Amino acid sequence: MSPNQAAIPIPVNETPKDYAPGSPEREDLRRELGRQLAHPVDIPLFIGGREIRTGRTKPVVCPHDHAASLGVFHCGDEAAAELAVRTALAAARDWRRTPWEDRAAIFLKAAELLAGRYRYVLNAATMLGQSKTVFQAEIDAACELTDYLRFNAAFADRIYGDRIPQATGASLTRMEYRPLEGFVFAVTPFNFTAINGNLPTAPAMMGNVVIWKPAGGSVLSAYHIMKILQEAGLPDGVITFFPGLGRDIGPMFFDRPEFAGLHFTGSTGTFNDIWRRVGENLSNGIYRTYPRLVGETGGKGFVLAAPDADAEALAAALFRGAFEYQGQKCSAASRAYMPRSLWAEVRDRLAAMADEAAVGDVADFRTFMGAVIDRGAFDAINGYIRQARDSGKARIVIGGVADDSRGYFIRPAVIETTDPRSKTMEEEIFGPVLTVYVYEDDRFDEILDLVDATSPYALTGSIFARSRSVIRKCLDRLLHAAGNISINDKPTGAVVGRQPFGGARMSGTNDKAGSWLNLIRWTSPRTIKETFVPPVGFDYPHMRG
C-alpha cells in the first residue's frame, strides 16, 4: 500500500432489524410514519445544489390509501434539462480529479447516515410511497442500499488496485480508470429503493456525473436518498435529481452529444425503445462516443420442482417468491412447473397461506402484502386474471380477488393452466399472480426444454430437488435460462456482495449489480506507456549488414 492509499473498510452486509413488539425500532418507525403522513412534502428538482420548482407537479399518494396525500413532485422540462447538463458537465471537471478515496468516503458516510439516523425516514417513505411492508422496506431501503454503498467502495478499491504486468525495466506502463466522457443518465424503477440509490451512485463513485430520473411511484424515497447524499458531502452537480415522466424526459438527454451512458432498471419494452433511439442517434452522428447501455429489464421467474422435491419448503418458497411485495419484483416467482405427485399437497399449503396472509395497510406490522403501485398496475394485473379465467385452459385455484375502494389491493392469485405456453406463463405480469403447469412425473426431461424455451426472459429461476444428479442436470440444461438461479430456495432475495444480480436474453445486459462487474462498466481505461530511453533511428538490426 502506498503512503497515500486509503484502507477501505471491509464491507459487511447490514443486519436487518426485526421490529418486534416493544422494540425501540418499532416505536421509532411508527413515529416516523405518522410524521410523514402529517407533513406532505413539495419535492423539487436538485440541479447544481439548487432546488428547482417548475410548477408542473404530480401528486405523491399512498397506493394502499388513496385519501392519503404525501405531497407533490415537480417535473423537469426542457429549460431544466439544459441547466442540468451544463451544471453536470461543469461539475465533471473537479469530480474526475477528486481522489477516488475521497469520492468513496462520501458514499461510505451516506451508508452510515442511512444505517443510523435516517434509517426510519427512508423506511417510512418506502412503506408509504411504495406500499412495502415493514420487513420488505427494511431489507430494501435500509439494508440493501447500505450494502450497495459499502460494497461498491470495496469493488472500486479492487478495480483501482488492479496492476498490469511490467515486462521490462526499460519502460513504465500504468493503467488509468477514467470516468466516461460526458454524463450518465440513471433511470430508476418504483419497486426498489435500493436500486433507486445504486443506479446513480455506482457511476458517480467511479468519477462520473449523473442525471437521475426516479420513477414517480418511488419519488418520495428517492428524494430522501438525495438529501442523505447532500448531507454526506456530495458536491453540487455530481448527481442531478430530475423527476418527471419518462416519455417526456428521455429525449432531453438521449439526444445530446454528451450522453455517455445509461444505467437503467425498468421494462424490456422501454429499454428496447431506448436502445433503438440510441442506435438511430449513432447513425446520425450525434454522439462523441459509443454510450454504455446497462439495463436490467423484465423477468418471468420460474420455479421447477422435481418429483423428489420437499413439498413443505417448495410451498413456502413459492408463496414468498410470488407474493412478497405483491409480486412487484422482476425476480418474482411467476411461473411454476409442478409434478403431479406433489401438486395437490403444494396447492393445499399455498391455499392455507393465502387464507392466513393479511393484505392491507402496511402501517399495520402484521400485514404480509400491501397494495400494487397504482391504477394502471391494478387494471393490468386484473386483466391477466380475467384472461386466464376466460381462456378455457386455466382455472383460478386460489384467490385473485381485487378491491380498489380504498387502495389498489389484489389478493394472491394462483392459476392452474393446461397450456404451458399460455399468456400468464410467458408474459411479465408484475403482480401477485403465480401460474402453475402440472406435468406427469415421467416427463421431467421434457419439462427442462419447456422451461428454457417458454419465456423471452432469463433473469431468475429456482430448482427444487433432493437428488444431486437431478440438480446438476437442471443446471446444465438450463444454462442460459436465468442469470440468477437458486437451488431449493425462492428466486428472489439476492444479497449484495453474495449473489450479484442480473439476467440475459430479454432481461437485460447482465452487468451484475452488487459486484465489481457493474462498476467496471462506468470506466474508460487508459493505458500509459513511458519509455525511458527511446530509439533514435528508424532501422532494425536485421536491416544492417
Same domain for 288 and 306? no
- Taking residues 429-442, report their average pLDDT: 98
Q: Which long-range contacts (CB under 8 A, 24 or more apart) does 160-165 make?
A: 160/100, 164/527
Please tell me the distance from the alpha carbon of residue 364 to that of residue 133, in angstroms, as a whole number: 8
Same domain for 369 and 239? no
pLDDT, residue 169, reads 76
> Which of 14, 296, 324, 428 is labelled catalytic?
296
pLDDT category at 3 given cuts 50, 70, 90 is very low
**Encoded amino acid at 372, one letter:** V
| Average model confidence (pLDDT) across the chain | 95
> Which of 62, 143, 330, 474 is labelled catalytic?
330
**Angle at the Cα of 143 (from 360 to 96), degrees rounded to 5?**
130
The CATH number of whichever domain residue 292 belongs to comes to 3.40.605.10
Q: How many CA atoms are closer than 13 Å to the CA of 453, on its beta-carbon side?
A: 7
For the ranges 115-129, 157-171, 231-245, 398-412, the lowest mean pLDDT is seen at: 157-171
Asked if residue 284 is part of any domain, the answer here is yes
Tens digit of each residue's pLDDT (9 = 90 or more) over 289-329: 999 999 999 999 999 999 999 999 999 999 999 999 999 99
Asked if residue 498 is part of any domain, the answer here is no
pLDDT, residue 167, reads 62
And the C-alpha cell for 306? 422435481
Please report the beta strands in 156-300, taking only residues with DSSP state E, as ranges in sequence order. Answer: 171-178, 183-187, 209-213, 239-241, 259-265, 292-296
Same domain for 315 and 284? no
312 is catalytic: no
pLDDT, residue 7, reads 82
Asked if residue 396 is part of any domain, the answer here is yes
pLDDT at residue 131 tops 70: yes
**Encoded amino acid at 13, one letter:** N
Q: Which long-range contacts (CB under 8 A, 24 or more apart) does 48-53 make?
A: 48/83, 48/87, 48/90, 48/91, 48/236, 48/237, 48/240, 49/230, 49/236, 49/237, 52/80, 52/83
pLDDT category at 171 given cuts 50, 70, 90 is confident
Please tell me the distance from the alpha carbon of residue 383 to that of residue 440, in angstroms, as a whole number: 30
78 is catalytic: no
The CATH number of whichever domain residue 469 belongs to comes to 3.40.309.10
For residue 200, count other CB atoms closer than 10 A to its CB.
Answer: 30
Q: How far apart are the first and last CA of the chain?
A: 50
pLDDT, residue 5, reads 65
pLDDT, residue 248, reads 87
Same domain for 324 and 283? no
pLDDT at residue 432 tops 50: yes
- Taking residues 478-505, report their average pLDDT: 96
Tens digit of each residue's pLDDT (9 = 90 or more) over 192-234: 999 999 999 999 999 999 999 999 999 999 999 999 999 999 9
For residue 302, count other CB atoms closer than 10 A to its CB.
Answer: 28
Distances (CA, A) of 120 to 82, 138, 274: 35, 9, 36
Distances (CA, A) of 364 to 120, 135, 178, 321, 352: 16, 12, 48, 22, 21
Same domain for 428 and 282? no
Tens digit of each residue's pLDDT (9 = 90 or more) over 62-111: 999 999 999 999 999 999 999 999 999 999 999 999 999 999 999 999 99
Asked if residue 542 is part of any domain, the answer here is no
Please tell me the distance from the alpha carbon of residue 371 to that of residue 408, in angstroms, as a whole number: 5
pLDDT, residue 174, reads 86
pLDDT, residue 249, reads 92
Same domain for 443 and 337? yes
Asked if residue 344 is part of any domain, the answer here is yes
Helices and strands, number each (H, E), in the chain: 17, 23
pLDDT at residue 497 tops 50: yes
Range of the domain at 405: 301-487
- DSSP character at residue 205: H
Distances (CA, A) of 218 to 181, 475, 494: 29, 36, 21
Do residues 395 and 159 touch, judged by C-beta distance below 8 A? no
Same domain for 284 and 351? no
Highest mean pLDDT among 85-94, 163-172, 536-545: 85-94
Asked if residue 401 is part of any domain, the answer here is yes
Kindly report whether the global pTM for this prediction surpasses the value 0.85: yes
Same domain for 422 and 388? yes
3-state DSSP assignment of residue 208: coil
**Encoded amino acid at 518, one letter:** N
Please report the beta strands in 169-308, taking only residues with DSSP state E, as ranges in sequence order. Answer: 171-178, 183-187, 209-213, 239-241, 259-265, 292-296, 301-305
Same domain for 220 and 109? yes
pLDDT, residue 2, reads 44
Same domain for 203 and 67? yes
Count how many domains the chain has. Answer: 2
Same domain for 306 and 291? no
Please report the beta strands in 441-543, taking only residues with DSSP state E, as ranges in sequence order. Answer: 457-458, 460-464, 484-487, 504-505, 524-531
Asked if residue 535 is part of any domain, the answer here is no
Same domain for 367 and 238? no
Asked if residue 539 is part of any domain, the answer here is no
H/E segment holding residue 474: helix 468-477
pLDDT at residue 190 tops 60: yes
